[in-house]
Structure 1
């Protein structure tokens, strides 16, 4: 009986660890995924500025390996070690570290570009958004080089005395999304029209001209902001206007900017069909292990 109890306990522990390894953090793999979290979600617009800067300061090689171009241990740009004590992210494997950046109250903010450290009023946040990345340390003889294998955007809860990260607004950023954002780099050698067509935007030529006039050499960044944030809001406003017109109501005027970012809405969770199938398989294995243990114990009793 004690052996059976031990086996059941081991099975329970294995099942728990397997379930715990299924990360509930939603992954963003494309600009279209970015659009979704800015539609009805409480995501600061400043996060997109911070993410744009990060995507363009790291190196991504042909094998999709992200390399650091700076040493976070030297406190460049205000990077500092993140302990993950609230367990929002996966536990650290041996030889890895988490780092975070984005606190604009630090003196290091002056090392950041102006569009991040001193953004336009409509894109300023509440200093809650952060980028967290996981670094793998590797020793190659006399040299230690650092490779990034996970990147996240997250934000604090916002309470003055509670500065832990909010798992409901933590997202993993894939290398593919970082590559797409890099296409909108400052001074990118391609036209706004090419970028618009590549990412399926319905931005008009007139709007492209306005973006160019307003943002100047940051026009590519302005287009990214418009595609991810403004364009979605304008579409929603046009839909509301059409619905109002069909019911005889007053016409809704489309506004050029979205309202303040703290709009509450339902969050899409990161659980998909594959995750559900995996959980079902693990439960079946667990039940089978218990039945085997019971049968073995019954056989020995005879």
Structure 2
């Protein structure tokens, strides 16, 4: 098993290179996920959908390539984000479209304690490209553990039907000097969130 790098802040996410080490489609998927969970004051994460019903393309992940640490008793890994799997709930259009264009490679893997559906590990990863002939294995180079603190930070970025380019704008401005506290204050800024590219100058 390889050591999986842990990301616990927007600064850490920026440091590994959004659009490079963290592909664009992975961050869109992560933003969706951050808004589909509950995180309590202790950092404990709970699902608000049922992985056993196949919602959002969820299915058991067996960790055959030993990408992640072995499961303790009572836990199960699930993979989320496969747009070709049927489920009672579907991914939002902007995530579905980006995955379709990129070849349906980005995934979130969660470690869940059953039967209460409590999560204690969250990872982003992606399948190897078809040209690499690795089948359905996940690429450890693009695999990161995501902490509850980073999930909270990402969930604060608003995305609605009027602003589906938000995270693309975030990518374009990852070289800015805005730190985590400034990004958190974005919710209270007078700049328009719809035109996110205007927010960063206000935070400098």
Assess if the C-alpha contact under 8 Å between 2:54 and 2:88 holds in 1.
no
Partner residue of 1:150? 121
What is the total number of aligned residue pairs between the two structures? 176
Counterpart among 150, 173, 178 of residue 151 in structure 2: 178
1:109 Cα deviation (Å)? Answer: 9.4
1:33 Cα deviation (Å)? Answer: 1.6
1:82 Cα deviation (Å)? Answer: 0.3
**Structure 2: runs of 5+ lacking an equivalent:** 178-196, 198-204
Partner residue of 1:106? 85
Distance 1:172 1:88 in 2: 12
Say whether residues 1:222 and 2:177 are aligned partners.
Answer: no
**Corresponding residue SS for 1:111:** coil
Matches within 5 A, 1:275-290: none
> Structure 1 length as normaliser, TM-score?
0.53
Instruction: Say what the alpha-carbon RMSD is for the aligned residues.
Output: 2.8
1:169 Cα deviation (Å)? Answer: 1.2
Q: Which has the larger radius of gyration?
A: 1
Partner residue of 2:56? 77
Deviations 1:225-269 (A, max 9, x none): 322x1124799xxxxxxxxxxxxxxxxxxxx9xxxxxxxxxxxxx
Counterpart among 54, 57, 67 of residue 46 in structure 2: 67
Partner residue of 1:133? 110
**Structure 1: runs of 5+ lacking an equivalent:** 1-19, 138-143, 188-214, 236-255, 257-302
1:87 Cα deviation (Å)? Answer: 0.4
Assess if the C-alpha contact under 8 Å between 1:101 and 1:132 holds in 2.
yes
**Corresponding residue SS for 1:116:** helix
Matches within 5 A, 1:154-165: 154-159=125-130, 162-165=135-138
> Structure 2 length as normaliser, TM-score?
0.76
Partner residue of 1:239? none
- Which aligned runs of 4 or more in structure 1 are off by greater than 3 angstroms? 107-110, 221-225, 232-235
Partner residue of 1:38? 17
